[in-house]
Chains A and B, each alone.
Chain A
Amino acid sequence: MIPKTTYVNEKDLIQACQQQERKAQKLLFDRYSAKMLGICRRYVRNQEDAEDVMIEGMYKIMSKISQYHGGGSFEGWMRRVMVNEALMFLRKAHNFKMTVEISNIEIKSQITVEDHLAAEDILKLLEKLPTGYRTVFNLYVVEGYKHREIAEILEISINTSKSQLILAKKRLRSLVQENRMPGVG
């Protein structure tokens, strides 16, 4: 079979990747690698490590693409694979169980800020968070996991997950104020 050089839609591209067509795989990489690296950077502080994680994640996506049956969004499926890969990387170096639990204190994280945060600002803020805070914050706030799910994924208690989120928000608030980020009133 002669491989296609162009793919009309995403379905075509996925099918070609399932046939392990190298050109289709390259196209998929070109289309999504920047976005996937962005996800990895939210979890992994170091740029080189984040790229290693992204490459390993893309490898898993391409080698296990036959497991995607078109049930949900393809990008969503890719994101989940990438988040899992980032978590696997973090688990090697960070013990999530060592994080301290605190009582449930309500912390106001509302600040006066521009409606649009620049990508660099987000990265600057997240980079300054400890690994435990950053991971729980990303999983809960950006990925939309529940505390019960986070507790299961990271093998920690639900209370630890909740307290990590509270502390992450508190730290972010003070970081925004300390750094006098644009738009902070």
Chain B
Amino acid sequence: MKSNKDISDLIRENAYKLEQRPSKNAWDRLENRLNEKPAKPRFSIRRILSIAAAVVGLVGFGAMISFSFLQQEPSMATANYDVETIEEFKVEEMKMLTDEEKGFYEVVEFQHKYQDRLSKPIIEGPRKKMTLAKKKK
């Protein structure tokens, strides 16, 4: 029967007719596929745990090595922090110097201590006061 119909409707209504027998070995292929062992998931819990354990082990090993290294060289470890030891060392050093050397040492130390002050002039007092003094001249 002929009628004025939309081609989409016709295909929709008749699509169910589209059946095709698969080839003879199709079932065998599917059966082989079903017999295959399922592929292990890429990130199984066991694998994640083993990776985590390895990371923890490596970090622990690294920490142990660095700890033993620090224990072997305590002077290096404490050099920056033990101020009292440094002061004692300085006093002992000073005792060994002659009077002339001590004087030179003190001058150098003074220069180091007040280096900032020497390079930057000290400006004291409010600005107004300084201006008034100039006007009086």
Contact = CB atoms under 8 A, between A and B. Distances in A.
Nearest to A141: B8
Given A34-B22, A51-B26, A114 B2 contact: yes
A63 B38 contact: yes
A115 B22 contact: no
A142 interface: yes
A122 B5 contact: no
Which of B17, B21, B23 lies at the interface centre, i.e. has the most chain A CB atoms within 10 A of its CB?
B17
Interface in A29-75: 29-30, 33-35, 37-39, 41-42, 50-51, 54-56, 58-59, 62-63
Contact of A141 (B4, B12, B18, B34): B12
Contacts of B4: 110-112
A172 B7 contact: yes
A142 B30 contact: no
B18 A173 contact: no
Contacts of A59: 30, 33-34
Contact of A142 (B6, B11, B23, B26): B11
B22 A33 contact: yes
Interface in B67-88: none
A118 interface: yes
Nearest to B1: A115
A85 B29 CA distance: 17
B44 interface: no
A151 interface: no
A119 B19 contact: yes
Contacts of A26: 27, 31
A42 B18 contact: yes
Contact of B30 (A58, A111, A115, A119): A58
B20 A34 contact: yes
B3 interface: yes
Given A37-B21, A51-B26, A114-B2, 12 more contacts: A29-B27, A30-B27, A34-B20, A37-B19, A54-B22, A59-B30, A113-B2, A113-B3, A113-B5, A115-B5, A119-B14, A141-B11
Interface of A: 22, 25-26, 29-30, 33-35, 37-39, 41-42, 50-51, 54-56, 58-59, 62-63, 109-119, 122-123, 125-126, 137, 141-142, 169, 172-173, 176, 183, 185
